[in-house]
Amino acid sequence: MLPAMLTKLDARDVSIHYRRRRGGEPFLAVGNASMQIAAGEFVAIVGPSGCGKTTFLNAVDGLLPITGGTLALDGKPITAPGRDRAVVFQQPSLLPWRTVTGNIKYGMETQGGVDAAEMRDRVRHYVELVGLRSFEESFPNELSGGMQQRVNLARALATHPDMLLLDEPFGALDAQTRETMQLELLRIWSESRQTALFVTHDIVEAVYLADRVLVFSARPGKVKLEVGVPLERPRDLRIKRDARFLEIENTVWESIREEVLRASADTEAA
């Protein structure tokens, strides 16, 4: 367990129930999930489909209430969305009538408290950081999928969140663009060093990006296994062929495989 002074996110025995749209009893999506994430750490969550990874991320953002346990950011209970967190979703969800500049400004505008001069400076900085210089006045339909996701990331970073939440941000991209964006995310994160919680189905992506990988069990999700990634930074794509990388990848895969088989057996027994 991390010392309290170093802990950014503290989740203890978190449970989250979902109520079915057509009535009926709520079901348990996340049950007794516990984790501590240090300030400046990059943590990835993986697990079988439907294990509650995104549900947990939404609770950290304050979009879903927890129904058991405690969930705190910097020692304060999370009860609603806040300007101290920003989410990057799988789909960029850019405003089609706004340019790159306008979309990056949008997050700061909704957040409030940023004057026009500061907003211009931040836009300039993050356009440069995500590699979109000379595309400032382009509209979303003039950008590739990867470029749109760069805008999405810049919009989140420009709000200066204490914690960056990423939900399968590269899941909709082709394999080549996805690897490029992974490399870019590491470069950007190495400059900002913001605390990051990254949800993905891709084990290789998780190991490549993270300081630690948390494996969720089958639903109700909880942390089944924590795997450290003691690979030197900065990392380039060649590290994915390193024997140490492959060993970590295999450890994570075997843990998820066990959960998939267990969930399948439980379904057949029912």
Domains (ranges, CATH) in the chain? 4-83+164-174+193-269 (3.40.50.300), 85-160 (no CATH)
162 has pLDDT over 90: yes
DSSP-based three-state secondary structure for 53 = helix
Distance from C-alpha of 130 to C-alpha of 149, rounded to nearest angstrom:
10
| pLDDT of amino acid 270 | 54
Question: Could you tell me the sign of the dihedral formed by the alpha carbons of 81, 10, 38, 60, in that order?
Answer: negative
* Residue 18: both structure tokens together: 């979902």
Cα atoms found within 13 Å of the Cα of residue 244, Cβ hemisphere only = 9
pLDDT band at 234 (very low <50, low <70, confident <90, very high): very high
Tell me the per-residue pLDDT of 75-134, one tens digit each, with 9 for 90 and over.
Answer: 999 999 999 999 999 888 899 999 999 999 998 998 878 899 999 999 999 999 999 999
Q: Given this model, what pLDDT does residue 232 score?
A: 94
- How much is the average pLDDT of 174-188? 92
Percent of the chain at pLDDT > 70 equals 94
Which pLDDT belongs to residue 3? Answer: 53
The pLDDT value given to residue 112 = 79
Percent of the chain with pLDDT over 90: 81
**In the prediction, which pLDDT does 26 show?**
82
What's the predicted TM-score (pTM) here? Answer: 0.93
What does the pLDDT read at residue 231?
96
| The pLDDT value given to residue 6 | 82
Q: How far is residue 59's CA from residue 163's CA, in Å, rounded to a whole number?
A: 13
Confidence at 1, pLDDT banded by 50, 70, 90: low
Residue 234 and residue 190: Cα distance in Å, rounded? 8
The arithmetic mean of pLDDT across residues 231-236, rounded, is: 93
Q: What average pLDDT does range 162-178 have in this prediction?
A: 93
Comparing CA positions, the residue from 234, 225, 230, 221 lying closest to residue 193 is 234
**For the chain, what is the mean pLDDT?**
92
pLDDT in tens, 14-49: 999 987 776 667 889 999 999 999 999 999 999 999
Backbone angles phi, psi at 43, to 5 degrees: -120, 135
Give the model's pLDDT for residue 2: 56
Q: What is the pLDDT of residue 4?
A: 52
